[in-house]
Amino acid sequence: MISLGKIGALIAFFAIVIGAILVAVYGRANAPGQPIAFSHKIHAGDFKIACEYCHSYARRSTVAGVPSVARCMGCHKVTALDKPEVKKLADYWNRKEAIPWVKIFDQPDFVYFSHEPHVLKGIACQICHGPVEKMEKVREAVVLNMERCVNCHMERKASIDCWTCHK
């Protein structure tokens, strides 16, 4: 006979296993594997390269944009050539291929967002994206749901008409 205590222990055991699987799955969903292990901590943190040096459209466009391979090679034709992940970068360059970066912050199609008005108002990247310069791997540290957008729009007296963000 299995005692109730043992059943309880079994249930607790499976709950822990399932919990661990969920953490693994969702943990990865928030910080997906990238084709090259690019570190913001090294580039934007240690070496203090400005965000807009790489995300150069943020100030003048809806998108912030991800840098081209050419932008990376501006430094990596000479920098850290011996590192395996930099060799991968050089392979993309030699094959004339774009790097298929996985997108992390992604709004549904029915949402209209533009970087330009926000960046021009001086809202720091980190307010919407978290302390990216401390991250080895970008994760969705801030969830940009409707409540967060609308709350800031109310605080800052920006438009909260539905059609501002849904057009």
d(CA 88, CA 114): 32
d(CA 64, CA 54): 9
Q: Which stretch binds ligand HEC (CB under 6 A): 4-12, 15-23, 157-165?
A: 157-165
Q: Which of residues 65-84 bind ligand HEC (CB under 6 A)?
A: 65-67, 71-72, 74-76, 79-80, 83
- Output the CA angle 139-21-33, nearest 5 degrees: 35
Q: Single out the residue of 49, 56, 93, 139 in contact with ligand HEC (rule: CB under 6 A).
A: 49
CB of 24 vs ligand HEC, minimal distance in Å:
20
Nearer to ligand HEC, 23 or 86 (CB): 86
Assess 141 for contact with ligand HEC (CB under 6 A): no
Q: Are 69 and 98 in contact (CB under 8 A)?
A: yes
